[in-house]
Amino acid sequence: MEEQQMIDESKFIDMFKALSNTTRVKILKMLKEPQKNFPPQVHVHKGDDFSGGVCVGNIRDKIELGQSTTSQYLSLLQQSGLLEMKRIGQWTYYRRNEEMIKQLEKFIGKAL
């Protein structure tokens, strides 16, 4: 049980590191309501099972940073568990990982 707690805490530390940048927090906030903050995602279809996903290009345009910085930020958020990623055709889409965000909220409430 103690080893599992250590693994969980290290994952949460990764999440806190990802959240230590205002632009990455802004990305998560915008992805909370993708239909309000981004144009319709024409390449995501119901059969793709990735509702709420937003194309990297749309995220890049919204945060007004270069492609490499945007990709780096999105990758860090994904590696921390806060975002999910899916390739659909030639496009890469990201959406919030609501389950991990709920776990982070519980961790903060219980451990801190």
Share of the chain above pLDDT 70, in %: 93
Please say whether the beta carbons of 106 and 8 come within 8 A: no
Check whether domain 2-111 has CATH 3.60.40.10, yes or no: no
Residue 30 has pLDDT above 80, yes or no: yes
Give the CA-trace dihedral at 37, 42, 47, 52, to 10 degrees.
-10
* Predicted structure pTM score: 0.88
Classify residue 68 by burial, with Cβ atoms within 10 Å: 0-12, 13-18, 19+. Answer: exposed
Instruction: Give the domain ranges of the chain.
Output: 2-111
Share of the chain above pLDDT 90, in %: 71
Return the SS3 of 29: helix
